Amino acid sequence: MGKVLYTAKVNVLNGREGSAASDDKRLDINLSAPGSKETGTNPEQLFAAGWSACFIGAMRHNAAHLQIPLPEKVSVNAEVDLAAGEHGFSLQARLFVNLPGLSQEQATFVIEAAHHTCPYSKATRGNINVLITAVI
Using CA atoms, how far residue 18 sits from 6, 14, 15, 84, 98, in Å, is 25, 4, 5, 22, 33
Strands (E), the chain: 10-13, 19-22, 28-30, 75-85, 88-98, 129-135
Which residues form the domain of 99?
A: 43-134
The per-residue pLDDT for range 10-50, each reduced to its tens digit, is 999 999 999 999 999 999 999 999 989 999 999 999 999 99
Q: 91 and 24 in one domain? A: no
- Give the global pTM: 0.94
Quick one: pLDDT at residue 69?
Answer: 96
Q: What is the DSSP letter of 41?
A: B
CATH number of the CATH domain containing 2 = 2.20.25.10
Q: Give the confidence band of 94 by pLDDT, cuts at 50, 70, 90.
A: very high
The answer to whether residue 98 scores a pLDDT higher than 90 is: yes
Q: 87 and 66 in one domain? A: yes
Average the pLDDT over 45-59 and give the result: 98
